[in-house]
Structure 1
């Protein structure tokens, strides 16, 4: 697959795979992280381990049903930007029925949020109770250290 990457971006590979994971060398790369959640309340802690400054990196979080409560607000979808949010953010997901929690990397260019273009993608590492997302923005060749976050949900 590395040879293909010389001619095709991750965005093109995800388009061809219908947003399914793709293999890049010995790595599995996804465009979006999805986690089914049962009905109820879930505590979520997002920790930014590292992020490059240019372009500004962010992590977008969304639930299909229910809402995310953070900083006194209830939203279906939020973005934690590297230049405006704390390194550690606690929030709560409330859902009356099963939902899907989603996370993906975003970045800003000239004030405009970008996602899922160029070589944007993530490597997902699962540890006991903690998900680590190693994100590549779409600006250059795949570099899975543009944004690194951990997400704990319990």
Structure 2
């Protein structure tokens, strides 16, 4: 299943697929401009390397390092769980999944790429589909806990 055509038809807006809301990105409106979040990598099931991107108008702080506007975490090199700070000028955090194929390039949003998010209090669980045209949403599964 290629979701790319469905997202093009919806002009990038979320769609309903098999009774679930499917998105290209997740956008979180933060209560405060500076928050701590905890990321948990739960599972991967893909032939390709899996990761996630966090974006904001501002910067991220992790392990005493600062990244401006965007940061990428790969499931094969990041710890299984870790914390970081988000310093957002517009109180918005954008999250989406990415993958790397044999070409060594970062890929997202095409072919089968999509995500489904389950929200419970301040914890969001992401079920991600990479660019392989299927609809199992198990290529990358991770959680983000907003700690404020």
Fold agreement, TM-score > 0.5: yes
Shift of 1:25: 1.6
* Whole-angstrom CA distance in 1 between matches of 2:91 and 2:122: 19
Distance between the aligned counterparts of 2:33 and 2:107, measured in 1? 32
* Cα distance change on mapping 1:128 and 1:38 into 2, 3 Å: closer
- TM-score (norm: length of structure 1): 0.88
Residue in structure 2 matched with residue 24 of structure 1 by the alignment = 17
Q: Does 1:108 align with 2:70?
A: no
Alignment TM-score, normalising by the size of structure 2: 0.91
Deviations 1:47-79 (A, max 9, x none): 01101252011011111x211111222112111
| Gap runs ≥5 in structure 2 | none
RMSD (Å), alpha carbons: 1.4
2:72 is equivalent to residue 73 of structure 1: no
Deviation for aligned residue 1:102: 0.6
The offset of 1:39, in angstroms, is 4.4
Between the two proteins, the alignment pairs up a number of residues equal to 145
The alignment partner of 1:15 has SS state of helix
Partner of 2:79, secondary structure, is coil
For the residue of structure 2 that corresponds to 1:102, the secondary structure is strand
- Conserved? CA contact 2:33–2:91, under 8 Å: no
Q: Of the candidates 34, 40, 45, which is equivalent to residue 47 of structure 1?
A: 40
| Distance (whole Å) between structure 1 residues aligned to residue 46 and residue 83 of structure 2 | 23
SS of residue paired to 2:6: helix
In the alignment, the residues of structure 1 paired with residue 4 and residue 96 of structure 2 have an alpha-carbon distance, to the nearest angstrom, of 13
- Kept in 2: contact 1:38–1:98 (CA 8 A): no
Between the two structures, name the one with larger relative contact order (CA 8 Å, sep ≥ 6). Answer: 2
